[in-house]
Amino acid sequence: MKTIRIPYAEMRAEFTRILLKNNFSEERAEKCAEIFATNSLEGIYSHGVYRFSRFVDYIRKGFVMPDAEPEKHSGAGAIEQWNGNLGPGPLNAEFCTGQAMKLASDNGIGCVAIANTNHWMRGGTYGWQAARKGYVFIGWTNTERNMPAWGAKESRLGNNPLVFAVPFGTEAIVLDFAMTQFSYGKIETLKTEGKELPFAGGFNKNNELTNRPEEILETMRGLPIGYWKGAGLSLLLDILATILSAGLSTSELSKREKEHGVSQVFIAIDLKKLKNYPSIGSTVSAIIDDFKASSTITDGAQIRYPGERVITIRNENLKHGIPVERSTWEMIQQM
Amino acid sequence: MKTIRIPYAEMRAEFTRILLKNNFSEERAEKCAEIFATNSLEGIYSHGVYRFSRFVDYIRKGFVMPDAEPEKHSGAGAIEQWNGNLGPGPLNAEFCTGQAMKLASDNGIGCVAIANTNHWMRGGTYGWQAARKGYVFIGWTNTERNMPAWGAKESRLGNNPLVFAVPFGTEAIVLDFAMTQFSYGKIETLKTEGKELPFAGGFNKNNELTNRPEEILETMRGLPIGYWKGAGLSLLLDILATILSAGLSTSELSKREKEHGVSQVFIAIDLKKLKNYPSIGSTVSAIIDDFKASSTITDGAQIRYPGERVITIRNENLKHGIPVERSTWEMIQQM
């Protein structure tokens, strides 16, 4: 496999071109291409350049409606329910983030729940968007089944990614994590490389914890983070996404041919509304300074806060281009 | 060790008597005794009957002020900041839960952050209170340092318990979990019993993961759930509790002689405000039915949702009395 580097602007233009060919309006094609290109620029290639062709495939198959816009279903003060009408997940999620921020500007805190939306790709995208504008962000999505309840033989829970973000100077601290210890993408990569997982990451067909990627891919029973704790959190996130949005649960979603029509929650808090707003920046800096001052187990290693690597990777990829396998890029150019 | 069973009313009366002797007003003594007795009734003995004498000790030492009430620091619509004035953690937390519910009744969602408060004992208490009245509850606290950052040699993070709760019929589904895989209380119990942890639960002095309780108690470096994920979540919860409440961070708290003056966040959502409110009960039931229908690894085992065991234990302890070691109860009777 040969890796080449594509400038951000070129990747974004290529995505825009393809989306325009797939019934996106110009404005929506540009917005959506920006999200896919930024995810790649910031190192989340699995939900950027390597996911793009599947996203287009879902449009062609009618799971994702390119021109569908979210509609308000109900509202009560600082909380609103929207229907995503099966529109593109990234566009719906960006909209909901903006709407939660508007509600937060008016009420201090705002919550938008959306039903019938689609995969938001990288949840951290929306955390970065909100936090870089001065808002706290908490958001999550449900997914199809891919993780067992604690003690269960089969997967009935989703890995339901959860995002927490806070402003940090002009950047942000963004935690974006799924309820499985390792993503299936990571497990597949390790399988291809003939490597084992560093820790147990799922169950084999004998219901034993295993580090072997091929055994986990055989059962599709990923290990919840913290065993029973991550399984419990997945259940609660699914219940909340479902009831707050009046949408589909993990169980209902999983009856569909391919995952589409998921439920999501977006909560924003406007820090400018708080009396201590002027000192928040230095408070966060003091916490991070103390955190990073930990002595490390491995000599010369660094303690990193969630999202810290994104800034380094973004700068590197802006300078040198976004790394992508030549074959993937050639396929995209032919789309 | 001989275990005896004390009726709920008797335990509650005993706690009330002792709090009255320690400068609590009658109303506040009764409220606080109710929380300690209910935690015990519902099986969370570690933060009920077995924690009570330490709570009284903290009052006598001046870490907890029996008559201090929370004061509003600032407010903006659906979000408020309060100062706990070092009052009793359970009373402050119950107040904040009620205040978040009031804000949610007015605005759909409400958030109360409190600085300078004290250990709330069992976070699930407030989840149960809110959810049994029809509210979604999300809340967390920071703590003193007891968990390392991922890759770090020393503990600079708290285990920062996080609670999610939703109504379920007249009861609730309540997830109440700390960021360490096992509580130090559990680790101490296993050490006393000469047992190992079922999974790695912390680091030994050679920086290796270990199942041996005595090795973890030596380093006080508990393992974060999901390794780097739980460490990241702990950091974000601490930052949020600190900046939203204008209170002390884990790092600042840890400079004090004993943990006091923690920061907490309480978010409530009023489900009655949602258009789909009438169907929420059956939606939650359908999710739980599907969850519990999983086939189990161990024959005859049951898949349980978070909080399910509480109902069984509550009924059993109401019927037979709350189990407590005779020596502990005799000591309480002499307080």
Inspect the interface and report whether the beta carbons of A152 and B295 lie closer than 8 Å: yes
| Residue A206 to residues A147, A219, A230, B48, B335, Cα–Cα distance (Å) | 16, 10, 21, 40, 54
The rounded distance, in Å, linking the Cα atoms of A130 and B227 is 27
Q: Are B241 and B140 in contact (CB under 8 A)?
A: yes
Quick one: pLDDT band at residue A313, thresholds 50, 70, 90?
A: very high
- Give the best residue of B138, B175, B288 to mutate against chain A (max A CB count within 10 A): B175
Tally: H helices and E strands in chain B? 12, 13
A52-94 residue pLDDT tens: 999 999 999 999 999 999 999 999 899 999 999 999 999 999 9
Residue A280's pLDDT is 98
Q: What are φ and ψ of residue A5, in 5° steps?
A: -120, 125
Q: Identify the band that residue A185 occupies on the pLDDT scale cut at 50, 70 and 90.
A: confident
* Chain A closest-CA separation from residue B110 CA (Å): 7
Q: Looking at beta carbons, which residues of chain B come within 8 Å of A109?
A: 77-79, 109-111, 267
pLDDT tens for A241-290 read 999 999 999 999 999 888 899 999 999 999 999 999 999 999 999 999 99
Distance from CA of A149 to the nearest CA of B (A): 7
Write the pLDDT tens digit of every residue in B110-167.
Answer: 999 999 999 999 999 999 999 999 999 999 999 999 999 999 999 999 999 999 999 9
Residues of A in contact with B251 (CB under 8 A): 286-287, 290-291
Give A235's contacts in chain B (Cβ within 8 Å).
Answer: 173, 175, 287, 291, 305-306
* Active site annotation includes A47: yes
- Please work out, in degrees rounded to the nearest 5, the angle formed at the alpha carbon of residue A127 by the alpha carbons of A122 and A131: 155
> How far apart (Å, rounded) are the C-alpha atoms in residues B63 and A8?
56
pLDDT of residue B330: 97
Contacts 24+ apart (CB under 8 A), B278-285: B279/A246, B280/A243, B280/B167, B281/B167, B281/B169, B283/A242, B283/A243, B283/A249, B284/A239, B284/A243, B284/B166, B284/B167, B284/B168, B284/B173, B285/B168, B285/B169
Read off the pLDDT of residues B2-48 as tens digits, 9 standing for 90 and up: 999 999 999 999 999 999 999 999 999 999 999 999 999 999 999 99
On the CB side of A175, CA atoms within 13 Å amount to 21
pLDDT, position B257? 85
Instruction: Give the separation between CA A251 and CA A145, rounded to whole angstroms.
Output: 7
Q: Which of B113, B109, B110 is nearest to B93 (CA)?
A: B113
Q: Is the pLDDT of residue B174 over 80?
A: yes
Residue B192, token pair as written in the block: 């006393």
Element (H, E) at B289: helix B277-292
Q: Can you name the residues that pair with A135 across neighbouring β-strands?
A: A270
Contacts of B167 (CB under 8 A, 6+ apart): B131, B132, B133, B134, B135, B136, B271, B280, B281, B284
- How many percent of chain B have pLDDT more than 90? 96
* Separation between Cα atoms, residue B86 and residue B98, nearest integer Å: 19
**Range A37-65 average pLDDT:** 96
**Of B109, B114, B165, residue with least CA distance to B137:** B165
A1: number of Cβ within 10 Å: 7
* Residue showing tokens 């609670």: B163
C-alpha to C-alpha distance for B271 and A81, rounded to whole angstroms: 12
Q: CA-CA distance, B93 to B87, in Å (whole number)?
A: 10
| Cβ pair A109:B149 closer than 8 A | no
Which chain B residue lies closest to A168 (C-alpha atoms)? B239
Q: Please provide the average confidence, as pLDDT, over all residues in chain B.
A: 96
For A106-161, how does the pLDDT look when each residue is reduced to its tens digit (9 = 90+)? 999 999 999 999 999 999 999 999 999 999 999 999 999 999 999 999 999 999 99
pLDDT (0 to 100) of residue A257: 85
Average pLDDT over residues A163-183: 97
List residues bridging with B46 in a β-sheet.
none
Query: Could you tell me if the ipTM is greater than 0.85?
Result: yes
Q: Is the pTM of this model over 0.80?
A: yes
Please determine, for residue A1, whether its predicted confidence score (pLDDT) is greater than 80: no
3-class DSSP state of B288: helix
Name the closest residue on chain B to residue A175, using Cα atoms. B232
- Across the A:B interface, residue pairs with CB atoms under 8 Å apart total 254
Compute the residue count for chain A.
335
**Average pLDDT of span A182-206:** 93
The closest CB to that of B108, out of A78, A175, A181, belongs to A78
Total number of residues shown for chain B: 335
Alpha helices, DSSP H, located in B246-276: 250-253
When pLDDT is averaged across residues B64-79 and rounded to a whole number, the result is 96
